Structure 1
């Protein structure tokens, strides 16, 4: 029986990931800030589930949590970084402290998780690091600058680490799973400086459906990235081909798509600095609009070689015809 640790596991996608791994008979370790919500999540998930509290942006707390889980269920075979924080606001209205906090949780929290997980995996000579990313790691959108920046930074850190693991011939895999918009509670508890109620950019996917892609990634550790859902695939490819046009498209479409209705108040403190006592569940309040099934595409080096060979063959055929 393998062991998986999941950060950000008290709600949303992290909780959905923990639940699906538990159903597949993994030993599961939950990590998040709020003790009560973690205890409730562990009871709900059941099985061989343990939990430990930590603010992932504080290395010492996350390290202590990992050591507690190790004592209870053993070291991690798989480590999933799913913790995040976001702010819905114009760039100029985000304070320095808010920007730093969102970046520390989403980016540095992932970096710390990778560093701690590597300690366990290098000593055992095996392991799989799974980093939850987003299509926004490739194609940023307005009004979420800290989140988009953090996800892009994570992709850079993961790519750098992957090169080092390959160079050192270490049998440790690392996969980044790029997610579409999901129906998670983050839109209820995110900090906001705008007089609108945030929503995921449609189409909206069920976190449980996206968690299945993470389980698939765990079972296919050689995959470099996993792109989940049609919007992720479209955003990543379109931005590679037409980045300037995508700037204009997002400028004209992404504002309205991120909000469902006027908010009662202009500002919302959210859970940026203090854990929320509400909304500790998998789904947000968009369940009637969510899509319960999705597809995913896993990238790998051999696919790139096959694509390169096909391009050469096409070019050779073109020369013959001409």
Structure 2
């Protein structure tokens, strides 16, 4: 059935993992556009700070401290939304934690904890949200990763959790559609995003981890989330190189060899970790705000691929433009000249022969 979703200014939106990164940026953006927002995370100080900033800007927001690995605490997030704003129109499952290390070196206890947050946390959120969304219609948005489509080394368990989340989300979507439930179920798959996730990661590498370029701003993902909250969307990859990484599954062994040569080094900085805390089991003193500190390179503020994917009319115009560029390139090559055409967002003329980089790595 066609699910009718409200404009964002009429919505009550719940966002988990909202104390930093993608979740925090999404909450602020939604509130700025008029939504009533319920922020949830483990770090109360950062949640309180975020809500105060939203209210100071004229927005409406409340928070609920919760560890999403506990289903009872997730239920209390919904209770807060209903008590304060009367209902839930969109629910965004976004909480995540990161671990870096070879699969055989990461402790099993840590691997289980990561699954508890990334996979079970979103299962708990989905099972809590769906009964509320069924009442008047709404959107369930699960934030996975481009790594839900393609695994990379040093984040094997993270990739496994995101793969599991993708399967869960796909199955839930089909079941709800079959029964005619008025719930749009979306899987958002961010590429490499500049957030504090890396700064708080538990790592066995001895040095600080980092996202791998091209790196996008969390606003790129937040914009996609808010679009999906208003327009039923099956899934969306944010970041052009995220799409290329997904396409790498068509050439699995070639992609394996490429990643073996590039992604071990590219996920590591040269900064020692020292004894800094991580947030695998407990929140750190400060979740880090919207952007991370480990990444010091260029952060892309927009993704033409994502805009095109969300707006088919733009895709049509882009196709015409690429056709013009292709004709121009062909003319230059026939004439013996060198082409100086640029690849935009990792997708475009000349991009099809390139192997995907690990540019779409961890999410929030």
8 Å CA contact 1:80–1:130 kept in 2: the answer is yes
Deviation, structure 1 residue 287 = 6.0
Which segments of 5 or more consecutive residues in structure 1 lack a partner in the other structure? Answer: 304-322
1:43 pairs with one of 48, 52, 76? 52
2:282 pairs with one of 254, 271, 274? 274
Secondary structure at 2:109 match in 1: helix
8 Å CA contact 2:16–2:92 kept in 1: the answer is yes
| CA offsets 1:215-260 (integer angstroms, 9 cap, x no match) | 1222221x21111111111011221x11222122111111111112
Match of 1:283 in 2: 291
Match of 2:139 in 1: 128
Match of 2:342 in 1: none
Question: Is the aligned partner of 1:102 residue 2:114?
Answer: yes
Secondary structure at 1:187 match in 2: coil
Superposition pairs of residues 113-262 of structure 1, within 5 angstroms: 113-122=125-134, 124-221=135-232, 223-239=233-249, 241-262=250-271
Q: Residues 264, 134 of structure 1: CA spacing in aligned structure 2 closer, same or farther, 3 A cutoff?
A: closer
| TM-score normalised per structure 2 | 0.78
Q: Distance in 2 between matches of 1:102 and 1:201?
A: 21
| CA offsets 1:254-281 (integer angstroms, 9 cap, x no match) | 111111214153x754110010112430
Q: Residues 218, 154 of structure 1: CA spacing in aligned structure 2 closer, same or farther, 3 A cutoff?
A: same
Q: Residues 25, 125 of structure 1: CA spacing in aligned structure 2 closer, same or farther, 3 A cutoff?
A: closer
More helix by share: 1
| CA offsets 1:163-216 (integer angstroms, 9 cap, x no match) | 101110111110111101111001111111112211001111111222111112
8 Å CA contact 1:15–1:41 kept in 2: the answer is yes
How many pairs does the alignment contain?
297
Q: CA RMSD in A?
A: 1.8
| TM-score normalised per structure 1 | 0.88
8 Å CA contact 1:52–1:69 kept in 2: the answer is no
Match of 2:88 in 1: 76
Match of 1:60 in 2: 72
Question: Is the aligned partner of 1:24 residue 2:33?
Answer: yes
Q: Distance in 1 between matches of 2:303 and 2:54?
A: 23
Secondary structure at 1:66 match in 2: helix
1:33 pairs with one of 13, 37, 42? 42
Secondary structure at 2:14 match in 1: strand
Deviation, structure 1 residue 145 = 1.4
8 Å CA contact 2:46–2:287 kept in 1: the answer is no
Q: Distance in 1 between matches of 2:31 and 2:273?
A: 39
Q: Distance in 2 between matches of 1:61 and 1:89?
A: 30
| CA offsets 1:99-149 (integer angstroms, 9 cap, x no match) | 010010000000000000012122x14111011111100011111112111
Q: Give structure 1 regions of 4+ aligned residues with deviation exceeding 3 angstroms.
A: none
Q: Distance in 1 between matches of 2:277 and 2:101?
A: 12
Q: Residues 279, 64 of structure 1: CA spacing in aligned structure 2 closer, same or farther, 3 A cutoff?
A: closer
Q: Distance in 2 between matches of 1:17 and 1:125?
A: 23
Match of 2:301 in 1: 292
8 Å CA contact 1:50–1:73 kept in 2: the answer is no
